[in-house]
Amino acid sequence: MFPRKKSALSKKSSLPSSDVAGGWVYSDIVKEHFFNPKNILCKNKKTYHADGVGFVGSPACGDMMKMWIKVNSKTDRIKDCKWQTFGCASAIGSTSILSVMITEKGGMKLDDALKLTPQDILKRLGGLPDRKIHCSVLGDKALREAINDYFRKSGQKNRIVRKPARIICKCLNVTDHEIEEAVLEGKNTFEKVQHITKAGTACGKCIPKVKELIEFYNHKYFD
């Protein structure tokens, strides 16, 4: 399903030409984790016995991420992490650094791993171009799904964490999650968000709230 390291992530690969031209500035850390991704699963995934598996994305939009974790049940820490993705340099780099963050120094506590945000990943990476920040969300979401899967399999369903969604456009059932996703994908104006989510195209009462959320998410991720 996912590309092998040799074909998709070899040193012959290159970052976007706009990086060289100065349009997009990738940090040396991003480049290192793109050309030399850490903890990527290269062997047959059927032989890797994970305690939890997370999968996000879809073939339709092109971005997909799968993550496997092993957990020390006595210490409640992540002792190993593997991942695979269809994605760009930013997605590869951000997930690679995330896999290091949660396994270094004896492994991160599950509760702490659940609190990780895209901003934490960006800070460790040294930043990403604005239009590529949404790529850091893939690993974050896949990790959360893998931890929840571990909770489910280990009989700890009371620990499963779900971020509740609020319906903003009641006519079309558009949630704050959908608006957030649109902004992260580069739809940074009301017109662009409305085009992809259709929020506010019925009665229009939600438009002020939609605009407020767009401003909030733009400030949160891109300011």
CB 2 within 8 A of CB 42: no
Whether residues 117 and 216 fall in one domain: no
Out of 42, 81, 88, 135, which one is annotated catalytic? 135
Please state the pTM of the whole predicted model. 0.71
Residue 56 β-bridge partners: 65
Chain CA centroid to CA 209, Å: 25
Whether residues 27 and 105 fall in one domain: yes
Condensed to tens digits (0 to 9), the pLDDT of residues 158-214 reads 999 887 889 999 999 899 988 988 888 888 899 999 998 999 999 999 999 999 999
Own/partner contacts of 173-176, CB < 8 Å, gap of 24 or more, are 174/198, 174/199, 174/206, 174/210, 176/213
Question: What pLDDT score was predicted for residue 24?
Answer: 53
Domain boundary among 129, 159, 189: 159
Report the length, in residues, of the chain: 223
Our answer to whether residue 88 is catalytic in this structure is: no
Whether residues 140 and 176 fall in one domain: no
Whether residues 127 and 178 fall in one domain: no
Our answer to whether residue 135 is catalytic in this structure is: yes
H or E element at residue 55: strand 52-57
Domain boundary among 159, 181, 201: 159
Residue 92 pLDDT level (bands cut at 50, 70, 90): confident
Domain count within the chain: 2
CA distances from 45 to 2, 87, 119 (A): 11, 19, 29
Please give the Cα distance from 158 to 99 (Å, whole number). Answer: 25
Say yes or no to pLDDT of 4 above 50.
no
Provide the domain limits for residue 191: 167-222
What CATH number does the domain containing 88 carry? Answer: 3.90.1010.10
Tell me the two tokens of residue 33.
Answer: 């984790």
Whether residues 105 and 44 fall in one domain: yes
Question: What pLDDT score was predicted for residue 163?
Answer: 75
